[in-house]
A and B are shown apart, each in its own frame.
Chain A
């Protein structure tokens, strides 16, 4: 009995240590990602800081010597102002993305798109597709297999309808296209995606007409 207790305690210890190691690895990866993003950002921040300091310097030079810009310099100044704006926007966009990372790990997202939860970054990755007159089942089968997420078709979907799609697009676009073509709704339940079509006003009208 005592051995059993000791074994249980040892098991719990190792499980705990394993869990801690897993968490630590995840934290390490997270910090590495944040550091990588910071490395990318710093060049922009430096450039913007330097540009701002130089503009101040130019202003001083111009004020002291009543310097007047020629047309070429005016053109450059205008272009520079646009670039300045663009760089600040680039820093803003980066801030948005880093905030997304923080929000995700700290569970502070106001809303998480269930599709994003299900597919992660793969949802927005561009892929090439070439489907011609394929039944929905075939398309769904291919998507389920490629992304490892089972997709079920449910409800009053018109199975006879085929679909054609060609080009480079994201998985999200493909799924939203299916949603529109089949007048369906994408529903995420657990680790599965359902392409569902449950009752529709038009169908009821059609049924009503048929009764008459």
Chain B
């Protein structure tokens, strides 16, 4: 019993399904033909793993920051209603979010390339100035193209965990620019990008990720349906076998 309750607790806390990952799973595209080892050999970027101990300590601050921001927004709504100036409240909100971004980046171990420390303007200048000739990629992994961009343009690129790094891309451009390449990738693979500080963040838009008990509930429903189908098939087979023996 203790084991069962502990299992439920573990499941409740940890179980989750990555909808996007599930969409991608199940064998389509060239990347599925490649072994995991081959894939890993080709991925140059280091694998980031969240430090759970640090996360557990810092998450309450993240939650607290969200509550503070909500309170601030309520003050803003009241100020707008009363026709009062809201700029000081906006400044407070921004300060709160700047601190939160800093906190989350520490927690999420921001990718550390050699191009950290540039100003936002420098990042944009480099991005706009970089032009390439004869760009050929055939079934290349997104992560590797972004790493090439990072190296060629000389900027730090941070990739969201939800970006499927093994998405394959084929390009053939006589002439192109870094910005055009990035925007083409973003349009094709449906991701967004933002330059903030010294980093270009490449990320997926909000979408449904099942979390908590939701994923487990779905899995259980699927298991139950499969069990029912198997039971039904077994019973039918038994019935057919019985009818066969009777006819003999």
**Which residues, 152 to 190 on B, are CB-close (under 8 Å) to A?**
160-162, 173, 175-177, 179-180, 183-184, 186-188
A residues sitting closer than 8 Å to B (CB atoms) are 20, 24, 27-28, 31, 34-35, 38, 40-42, 45-52, 54-58, 61-62, 65, 67, 69-70, 72-73, 76-77, 79-100, 102-103, 105-106, 108, 110-111, 113, 124, 126, 168-170, 172-173, 176-177, 179-181, 183
7 nearest CB pairs, A to B? A80-B14, A83-B16, A54-B13, A176-B180, A110-B120, A102-B94, A52-B59
* Known A42-B70, A79-B16, A89-B161; 14 more pairs at CB < 8 Å: A31-B73, A31-B77, A34-B73, A34-B76, A35-B77, A57-B9, A73-B10, A85-B161, A88-B59, A92-B105, A99-B196, A110-B119, A124-B186, A176-B184
Contacts of A90 in B (CB 8 A): 162, 206, 209
Contacts of A46 in B (CB 8 A): 63
Contacts of B201 in A (CB 8 A): 93, 96
- Interface size classification for chain B: 35 or more
A198 to B174 Cα, complex, angstroms = 20
Contacts of A47 in B (CB 8 A): 211-212
18 A-B residue pairs with CB within 8 Å:
A35-B73, A38-B66, A51-B13, A51-B211, A52-B59, A58-B6, A58-B9, A67-B2, A76-B216, A79-B15, A84-B50, A86-B209, A93-B206, A106-B91, A111-B121, A124-B186, A173-B184, A181-B175
Do A62 and B104 touch (CB < 8 A)?
A: no
**Which residues, 11 to 38 on B, are CB-close (under 8 Å) to A?**
11-16, 18
Do A169 and B9 touch (CB < 8 A)?
A: no
Contacts of A96 in B (CB 8 A): 101, 194, 196, 201, 203
Q: B159 CB to closest chain A CB, in angstroms?
A: 10
Contacts of B100 in A (CB 8 A): 95
A110 to B91 Cα, complex, angstroms = 16
Contacts of B15 in A (CB 8 A): 76, 79-80
Do B104 and A88 touch (CB < 8 A)?
A: yes
B86 within 8 A of A: yes
A57 to B13 Cα, complex, angstroms = 9
Contacts of A41 in B (CB 8 A): 66
A126 to B184 Cα, complex, angstroms = 11
A86 to B48 Cα, complex, angstroms = 11
Do A80 and B16 touch (CB < 8 A)?
A: yes
The SS class assigned to the B binding surface is helix
Contacts of B48 in A (CB 8 A): 85
Given contacts A41-B66, A82-B161, contact A170 B6 (CB under 8 A): no
Do B50 and A48 touch (CB < 8 A)?
A: no
B233 within 8 A of A: no
A158 to B31 Cα, complex, angstroms = 41
Do B124 and A27 touch (CB < 8 A)?
A: no
Q: A123 CB to closest chain B CB, in angstroms?
A: 9
Q: A116 CB to closest chain B CB, in angstroms?
A: 11
Do B175 and A126 touch (CB < 8 A)?
A: no
**Which residues, 47 to 77 on B, are CB-close (under 8 Å) to A?**
48-50, 52, 55-56, 59-60, 62-63, 66, 69-70, 73, 76-77
- Of B94, B124, B161, the residue contacting A86 (CB under 8 A) is B161
B98 within 8 A of A: yes
B44 within 8 A of A: no
B108 within 8 A of A: yes
Do A87 and B101 touch (CB < 8 A)?
A: no
Q: A134 CB to closest chain B CB, in angstroms?
A: 19
Chain B, Cβ-Cβ closest to A108: B94
Do B2 and A102 touch (CB < 8 A)?
A: no
